[in-house]
Amino acid sequence: MFDRAKVIDSNFKKYLSSKADISGFTHLGGHSKTRVIDIFESQLISRLLDLKARKLRAQGKSFYTIGSSGHEGMAVAGEVSRLTDMAFLHYRDAAFQIQRSKKRHGHTPIYDMLLSFCAKSEDPISGGRHKVLGSKELFIPPQTSTIASHLPKAVGAALSINKAKRLGIDSEMPDDAVVVCTFGDASLNHASSQAALNCAEWISYQNLPLPMVFICEDNGIGISVRSPQDWVKNSRGRSHTMKYFDGNGLDIIDSLNVLEHAFDYARSHKRPAFVRLKTVRLMGHAGSDIESVYRGMKEIEATESLDPIWKSAKTIIGNGLMSYEDVLKMYNDLETRIDRVGDQVAVREAIHDAAEVMTSLIPTKEIKPLPEAPSDESRKKVFGNEWEQMSSPQTLAKLINWGLTDILHRYQGAVLFGEDVAKKGGVYNVTANLETRFGKNKVYNSLLDETSILGAAIGLAHNNILPIPEIQFLAYVHNAEDQLRGEAATLSFFSNGQYTNGMVVRIAGLGYQKGFGGHFHNDNSLAVFRDIPGIVIAVPSNGRDAVKMMRTCVAHAHKFGRVSVFIEPIALYPVKDLHSSGDNQWCFEYPKDLSDTIELGEFHLEKGDNSLCILTYGNGFYLSMQAKKILKDKGLDPAVIDLRWLAPLDEKALGHELSKYKHVLIVDECRKTGSLSEALMALVMENCSPMPKVRRICSQDSFIPLADAANLVLLQTEDIVHNALTLTGAKA
């Protein structure tokens, strides 16, 4: 028969009705009878939900049928773990969530999961946005497509347990919590999982607390690609800093023995454990997967003969806990119940419009109020002799350092970390003295891996810590961009605003560094961030604005759980002068008043006449201010707008302002293709009336070479002057 779901269902019923041989069943070994039956019930519910999802899919009422059949042994992990153990789950772990739901009175896992399967707006985790496992009350953040991308944040969450205690903050997890992270054997090979496992071992190697249990559900195949024999065991069993456990996920008793041992070890030793749990995959990868294309029928049937719910039934019957008839009745009764609930769910309301879909893109629910501003006396103690220097203008680098000092002082749960940020103070000395001021628990070096840095930030944020990770150079983000795109930015959306992971990611970036070349250290592309819904993109052009904008980003992360990317123009870190040596016009006083901020979308206008407005940001604003002086000497005094925020843009306010000018010159320091200038051109066209004459100039679509050759591909002050004159006709 082609429909293997029907075959598997039929086989199980046939085994029970014919009283098939149960020899070789596993003895209870001291485990509670009621506990084993309870776990078995969850396994049956998980299987029957898979079968119902496929029936609903055939009727066009369900939309995503990747199932948990063959992985029902994960109900044991749901039983062994505590409700206070945060769980980052593989998409085949319905049985885990079903069993955990029994730990909290009043939960209705069948109804809840079917709402998710059918994408109904009452789905308690995603609000009908996706078929995901997850529950706020069950401490299971939603994972949308967990091909290892959830492992790095699980490590961060485990790291946060001890760190939150040392910070003295109210955390989400108690001191004795363990973080659970589950995934498949094929995902073990993904770069994200290797990064996370390496990071966990790196932390454990230094005897730092990391209470977590990795569970690799080894079904031997990833869609159609087989895992080499014993690959998981032989690749992970040799670690000296992560204890290895091997269990049979097809056997309810062996799973209990192994997982209890693993969780006890992680909890008591505060060390990571790795469990390889043998499973099988039944019914193909998903409903659309035709398994017979790449697996012969003998192999499919051999796999089906290992059905874990039949193995569990043999244990139940063999130990005299239930009869064949009792098990069959339980199965049939659950099937009837699930069919009835599924039919009720299928007619519930779905999301109706785009606005409803997007309500959870941006976190708006206040998580906690801002902490009170510390007194100047306490600030003086933190700053030491630098407090008196604040009345004199300083560079971008120095002002950011002072801004971070105030933030780390005010926010008890704020931590700053990244490569070389501690004792060295970062590559550009921006974080100098912060470790001395606040200690190694609040300011610390990470390992050299951007995936682990961003993943750790997400995990820390899950436990009420406010992370400020640093990515050393803009181009390094590309090694780990999925941690922003696929994890951090999606959490609020796919949890209907119930979960957030507020953070401020500091990134040194953009071009114009003298003496630097190559796309790693001198990169001028922000395209990777611009199409991620909901995130804030900040690009200050000077130190004063940087401090005020950083305060805003941190406040939104703390108060709402918002994710911000804070781009610091490297080339402007040390700059003092604007027009001539010694003029100090790019040095600014530190805004000492902690309430002095720049709100999201608020741009700066440098006034001029109504003939021309230059629209720009970052280094472009610095260059445009140089051009403004030159142009003024030629009889043209342009207004200059510094956007400051690339997302969100206040399109209405910008359109209103730009409508006042006859000409608009968009100056974008980034590459022409994929730069913000494209969106700004559209903004002018769609929001200005009357319509000004508009032109854009950008840097070349090129990587940045070394030394003076960089100036050949990067936008220069002279380009701004030339185009301003040409656009307005003033040159003629």
Residue 495 predicted with pLDDT over 70: yes
> 511 with 524: CB under 8 angstroms?
yes
CA distance 242 to 231: 17
Are 376-572 and 604-728 equal in CATH topology? yes
Half-sphere exposure of 254 (CA within 13 A, CB side): 18
Reading the block at residue 232, the tokens are: 């998981």
CA distance 249 to 259: 10
Percent of the chain exceeding pLDDT 70 equals 99
CA distance 7 to 13: 10
* Residue 148, phi-psi category: left (phi > 0), alpha (psi -120 to 50), beta (remainder): left
In tens, the pLDDT along 659-702 reads 999 999 999 999 999 999 999 999 999 999 999 999 999 999 99
Q: What is the mean pLDDT of residues 265-275?
A: 98
Q: Residue 329: its pLDDT value, please?
A: 98
- Which DSSP letter does residue 663 get? E
3-state secondary structure 603-631: CEEECCCCCEEEEECCHHHHHHHHHHHHH
Residue 732 predicted with pLDDT over 50: no
Q: Residue 387: its pLDDT value, please?
A: 95
Residue 651 predicted with pLDDT over 80: yes
Place of tokens 């445009």: 624
Beta bridge partners of 212: 179, 272
Q: Residue 288: its pLDDT value, please?
A: 77
CA distance 502 to 556: 8
Reading the block at residue 443, the tokens are: 């300011």
CA distance 576 to 4: 72
- Quick one: CA dihedral 144, 148, 149, 154, positive or negative? positive
pLDDT band at residue 517 under the 50/70/90 scheme: low
pLDDT band at residue 731 under the 50/70/90 scheme: low
Helices (H) and strands (E) in the chain, counts: 27, 21
Residue 24 main-chain phi, psi, to 5 deg: 85, 10
Rg (CA), the chain: 29
Q: Is 394 helix (H, G, I), strand (E, B) or coil?
A: strand
CA distance 207 to 205: 5
**Residue 585: CB atoms within 10 Å:** 17
**In 283-439, where do the E strands start and end?**
414-418
Percent of the chain exceeding pLDDT 90 equals 92
Q: What is the mean pLDDT of residues 395-402?
A: 98
Q: Residue 287: its pLDDT value, please?
A: 73
Reading the block at residue 520, the tokens are: 């790693």
Beta bridge partners of 133: 143
In tens, the pLDDT along 562-588 reads 999 999 999 999 999 999 999 999 999
- Quick one: CA dihedral 72, 78, 81, 84, positive or negative? positive
CA distance 309 to 652: 60
> 444 with 423: CB under 8 angstroms?
no
How far are the Cα atoms of 14, 577, 619, 652 from residue 580, in angstroms, in the given order? 89, 6, 17, 37
Residue 508 predicted with pLDDT over 90: yes
* Span between the terminal Cα atoms of the chain, in Å: 82
Place of tokens 């609930």: 341
CATH architecture of 376-572: 3-Layer(aba) Sandwich (3.40)
Q: Residue 289: its pLDDT value, please?
A: 79
Q: Is 491 helix (H, G, I), strand (E, B) or coil?
A: helix
Question: What residues have CB less than 8 Å from 298, skipping those under 6 apart?
Answer: none
What's 604-728's CATH class?
alpha beta
CATH, domain 4-348, list 3.75.10.10, 3.40.50.970, 3.40.50.720, 3.40.50.300: 3.40.50.970
Q: What is the mean pLDDT of residues 398-417?
A: 98
Mean of per-residue pLDDT scores for the chain: 95
CA distance 11 to 15: 6
Question: What residues have CB less than 8 Å from 5, skipping those under 6 apart?
Answer: 50, 51, 54, 283
Residue 14 predicted with pLDDT over 90: yes
The residue that leads in pLDDT, 510 or 516, is 510
CA distance 437 to 425: 12
Q: Could you give the residue ranges of the DSSP H alpha helices within 18-86?
A: 33-58, 75-80
In tens, the pLDDT along 299-341 reads 999 999 999 999 999 999 999 999 999 999 999 999 999 999 9
> 623 with 579: CB under 8 angstroms?
no
Q: Residue 2: its pLDDT value, please?
A: 66
**Residue 7: CB atoms within 10 Å:** 16
Half-sphere exposure of 36 (CA within 13 A, CB side): 29
How far are the Cα atoms of 199, 201, 243, 531 from residue 269, in angstroms, in the given order? 18, 14, 11, 43
Q: Residue 318: its pLDDT value, please?
A: 97
CA distance 173 to 165: 10
Q: Is 474 helix (H, G, I), strand (E, B) or coil?
A: helix
Beta bridge partners of 414: 466
CA distance 290 to 224: 10
CA distance 731 to 688: 26
- Quick one: CA dihedral 545, 550, 556, 562, positive or negative? positive
In tens, the pLDDT along 713-729 reads 999 999 999 999 999 99
Domain ranges of the chain: 4-348, 376-572, 604-728
In tens, the pLDDT along 526-536 reads 999 999 999 99
In tens, the pLDDT along 38-88 reads 999 999 999 999 999 999 998 999 887 788 999 999 999 999 999 999 999
Starting from the edge strand earliest in sequence, which strands make up the sheet with 443-445, in order? 443-445, 414-418, 466-471, 503-509, 563-569, 536-538, 645-647
In tens, the pLDDT along 194-217 reads 999 999 999 999 999 999 999 999
* Residue 391, phi-psi category: left (phi > 0), alpha (psi -120 to 50), beta (remainder): alpha
pLDDT band at residue 146 under the 50/70/90 scheme: low
156: nearest Cα among 451, 566, 411, 559: 451
